Amino acid sequence: MSAKVKIIGGIKEIDPEQRVNPTMRKKSVFIETSGSKPHTYEVSFWNQKIDLLKDFTEGSNVEVECYLNGKYFNNGEKKGTFLSLNADTIIESNV
């Protein structure tokens, strides 16, 4: 089961839609948080979730709920975890 997280910030950049394979589409959005030490997160919108972005542009303040997914790897020389944020919902934020 994936963990669910909420990110509140401004849309810094929206990448063009990518065709991953014949049945999968992906669009990445980079969200920058505010504060003295802002962070930028890449959030992926997959397939029908891409339509949720139609009302948002770069500079929009948003609140995104997403699933945090991780995959462990160990190739003998290096080990670690690949993490990804996959969007579930996005709404306008007043922050």
* Confidence category of residue 13, pLDDT binned at 50, 70, 90: very high
- The dihedrals phi and psi of 47, each to the nearest 5 degrees, come to 50, -120
**What confidence tens digit (pLDDT) does each residue in 45-59 have?**
999 999 999 999 999
| Strand ranges (E), the chain | 3-14, 18-21, 24-32, 40-46, 61-74, 79-92
Residue 1 has pLDDT above 90, yes or no: no
The pLDDT value recorded for residue 94 is 86
